[in-house]
Amino acid sequence: MKDLILTNAQEILQTLSKIELKGKGFVSECLVGEVMDAGISNPDFFKASGEDPDAYYDGQANAWSDIQVRESKKVFMVYGGSGKTRRSHIADTP
């Protein structure tokens, strides 16, 4: 999939609701739930890049391998990709 950057909270949440992650490591049936559990309810930035055969967007395989969602200073990241164990990370930036 093409790299994607969004800055509208509604579009970000809709996009996250269509992302499913399978495979090794961090998995999710619906990424929006994971982001909300991390404390991000009104995201102001979303960036997705790379390609992962075990990541799905709206039912299509080969979605993004690296995803970053931010709300103010809180950041939720997912990274991995083909042949790698996917990981997630939550951080508060200064």
Distance CA 75, CA 60 (A): 26
- Domain limits at 72? 4-92
pLDDT in tens, 14-72: 999 999 999 999 999 999 999 999 999 999 999 999 999 999 999 999 999 999 999 99
Number of domains into which the chain is organized: 1
Contacts of 32 (CB under 8 A, 6+ apart): 13, 16, 17, 19
Least confident of 16-20, 33-37, 74-78, 81-85: 81-85
The model's pTM? 0.93
pLDDT of residue 94: 77
